[in-house]
Structure 1
Amino acid sequence: MKEPMPHFSQIALALAVAFTATTAVHAAAPVAASKPAGIGVASFNLAWAGTQQDFDRHAAVCKAVEWCDTRPRRQPGQAFASDEANRVARQCAADTERLAGGPAQASMMVPCNAYQGRGPAVALTGADYAAKLAGLQATVGKLIEEQGVRVIAFQEVRSADVIKQVLGRHAERFSVCDAPHEGFQTVAFAWDRSLGQQPGRCSVETGLGIVDNPSDPQARKLRPGLALELQVAGRPISFLNVHLKSGCANIVPTPTYQARLLDDPAAPCKVLNRQVAPLERWLDSVAQRSPDFVLLGDFNRRIDEEAAASIRPEQVRVNGSDPKGVPPQEADGKVATRYLWQELSDGARTLQQVPLTAVDPGCRGFSGLDHIVLSGALAARQPAGLGSRKTAVVQAPGQRIETSDHCPRSVTLAF
């Protein structure tokens, strides 16, 4: 007889009990005593997070195509995938689209390899995915209960529905909004509705959702941006949530990733380059309404490396022009920018990165991609030595789908 699948809430409760047992000192303290003086703000990439129903649809299609990979696989030492690897990937994409009901439906589904590890593909179950959701809920619970986080920017989510699930017992306290998008991955916000004197207002920045290939109008679009406007302590403040193009991350080479500037001919850099001007225009538009704003999310770019480098103004753009203002765009949206950070914080527009000053033990996954950036006006009102923290995600022993490959990053801000 088939055993009933454990429900997401049952797994979440088990993880919460285990977590509470290891943090008894925190749990014993009164809630009011543990609240920070300011307001906690966090950014968290949930790694292809949808509802349990989203996973069930994903599993039905992927089982039929044997959990194939739509991305060509390169063998160790190969600079490019082989012709055979490209053929296999194309066949996988075609089969997936056919079973999903067409290209539009397939784009709203998680790729079959998204939850797989580095080894051979395995048949994942609803119980495996329920464990991931439970880990996300327990992790978000830590942010809210221990760090006083009251505004959370989420990336790699399917919809607001999954955010309401991972908020767990805090869902009634928080309002949620998301950015409608043609692909599975989008961005979302959750905020404590008691924060402001007026309800929060969300607006979508479609300018960041450029097409991957400007010569093909039918090509998939990147994720849009999402703004949340609140009135906090009598002042208007905006939170800007981004998830920029991946694959063009660093200017310091590593054994795994080579250094790339934004004028690099690599395809991901070309796409990220075309997001620069829309991002700058968005910042300027928000600053006109209120000088206080927070830009946060998954930048997919090590802007901390760029900030630490000795880059002179004339080096920021290929043509040596002054980086102040929005750079001129070519017909396809390309700009002459080499460095994202120096282009954004160009002197006319002053921004300040919140440095990472604490990382929880056991915090694994991507580093240097998630950032919290303050406008100059907001940064000027923060205490000296302001820093941010990365919190380890909660994961059960033997969990087959990892909770997330990003650790949430948070900061407590004074308003």
Structure 2
Amino acid sequence: MFKPLAALAVALALTACVTTPRTGQAPLGVAAWNMEHLSEDGSQGCKARTDADYAVMARYAEQLKADVIAFEEVESVKAAARVFDPAKYQLVIEEGPAGEHFPCGGQEGRRLTRQAVGFAIRKGVSFDRAPDVSDLALGNPNLRAGVDITVRAPGHAPLRLLAVHLKSGCFNGLNGGACATLQQQIPVLERWIDARAAEPIRFAVLGDFNRRLARADDVLWAELDDGQPANADLSLAEGAATPKCDPRYKEFIDHIVLDARATRGLVGFEEQVYAAADGRPSDHCPVVALLR
């Protein structure tokens, strides 16, 4: 289910400049990036990394046309700082517990590190932080809360952002235990959306939804995108675009969901795909929405 403005924005992105023609003000870039088990120490956790691997990820972070990046699967602020230079970014991360350190499948002696959600906010962009949306974790320390901030970038109207990483394993349909969990998270998310839609500040929800929301018949997207209140008439920033990150997957599960007001400011969408020479820094590629 696509909104016409979102589809138009995808077409504009093919030729978009980095400034908006109406004001000359550079658009605000907001991104979502699942960083695949980003640990403080690359010898720990379920994704081994060398110093050179962290350096490659840091290079991609700098190449992003993004002022604010919602990140997922990050152990700590210290881990995030290995990719996002603290001299250039302000870093926040969810405050919930670490959860259980499960063994990493097929990796003898390695165990899961904390898989948290947070934000990297480019310095010069001010922000306020609201309490985490801890109800998204359903009281389970192995699930993630949402991190809730409002950013105030120079030359831009305020934008409220919620970073999420929802339950994996229910990419479509409603069968299986993972779907039962995801179905409990969706009403929590909808309550946050409806509350924000009744307020004067535009908003977006971004991150790893672990769900193919762009499918025309997706019942969970229909539940979120019910248009009540009016500003809860939502759009997917990717519009009709399809991912290029991994040829096995033809539909996004990482999304930037915009409210009606933010949708009117959408001027572009990009997926940053890794160069072959860099291998796979993460099993997800960053996605970026550009907003007036």
Same fold? TM cut 0.5: yes
Superposition map of 1:256-271 within 5 A: 260-261=173-174, 264=175, 266-271=176-181
Does the alignment pair 1:132 with 2:12? no
Cα pair 1:237 1:290 within 8 Å, conserved:
no
Percent identity between the aligned chains? 30
Instruction: From 241, 258, 263, give the equivalent of 1:379.
Output: 263
Distance in 2 (alpha carbons) for counterparts of 1:410 and 1:190:
13
Q: What's the CA shift for 1:394?
A: 5.3
Q: What's the CA shift for 1:281?
A: 1.4
Does the alignment pair 1:352 with 2:232? no
For residue 182 of structure 1, give the secondary structure of its aligned residue in structure 2: coil
Distance in 1 (alpha carbons) for counterparts of 2:157 and 2:291:
14
Cα pair 1:139 1:394 within 8 Å, conserved:
no
Cα pair 1:135 1:396 within 8 Å, conserved:
no
Distance in 2 (alpha carbons) for counterparts of 1:179 and 1:347:
29
Distance in 1 (alpha carbons) for counterparts of 2:181 and 2:245:
33
Residue number in structure 2 paired with 1:206: 134
Q: Amino acid of the residue matched to residue 261 of structure 2?
A: A
Cα pair 1:44 1:154 within 8 Å, conserved:
yes
Q: What's the CA shift for 1:387?
A: 4.2
Higher relative contact order (CA 8 A, sep 6+): 2
Residue number in structure 1 paired with 2:84: 167
For residue 248 of structure 1, give the secondary structure of its aligned residue in structure 2: coil
Distance in 2 (alpha carbons) for counterparts of 1:376 and 1:132:
39
Greater helix fraction, Structure 1 or Structure 2:
1
Residue number in structure 1 paired with 2:119: 189
Q: What's the CA shift for 1:236?
A: 2.7
Q: What's the CA shift for 1:280?
A: 1.2
Q: What's the CA shift for 1:228?
A: 1.4
Residue number in structure 2 paired with 1:89: none
Instruction: From 199, 208, 232, give the equivalent of 1:298.
Output: 208
Distance in 2 (alpha carbons) for counterparts of 1:276 and 1:166:
31
For residue 347 of structure 1, give the secondary structure of its aligned residue in structure 2: coil
Cα pair 1:360 1:391 within 8 Å, conserved:
no
Instruction: From 132, 142, 160, give the equivalent of 1:221.
Output: 142
Unaligned runs of 5+ in 2: 1-16, 20-25, 99-113
Residue number in structure 2 paired with 1:42: 31
Distance in 2 (alpha carbons) for counterparts of 1:272 and 1:51:
29
Distance in 2 (alpha carbons) for counterparts of 1:301 and 1:360:
14
Cα pair 2:70 2:119 within 8 Å, conserved:
yes
Pair 1:234–1:301, CA change in 2 (3 A): closer
Does the alignment pair 1:393 with 2:274? yes
Does the alignment pair 1:155 with 2:72? yes
TM-score by length of 1: 0.55
Residue number in structure 2 paired with 1:242: 164
Q: Amino acid of the residue matched to residue 378 of structure 1?
A: A
**1:88-120 Cα shifts (integer Å, max 9, x gaps):** xxxxxxxxxxxxxxxxxxxxxx3xxx33xxxxx
Distance in 2 (alpha carbons) for counterparts of 1:303 and 1:358:
13
Q: What's the CA shift for 1:362?
A: 6.5
- The structure whose Rg is larger is 1
**1:370-395 Cα shifts (integer Å, max 9, x gaps):** 0111111221244xxx4422111357
**1:123-175 Cα shifts (integer Å, max 9, x gaps):** x6xxx4334322211211211xxx3x11110011011112222024xx31221
Pair 1:373–1:244, CA change in 2 (3 A): same
Pair 1:192–1:202, CA change in 2 (3 A): farther
Q: Amino acid of the residue matched to residue 391 of structure 1?
A: Q
Does the alignment pair 1:369 with 2:253? yes
Q: Amino acid of the residue matched to residue 140 of structure 1?
A: A
TM-score by length of 2: 0.76
Residue number in structure 1 paired with 2:222: 342
Q: How many residues align?
A: 250
Distance in 2 (alpha carbons) for counterparts of 1:361 and 1:343:
28
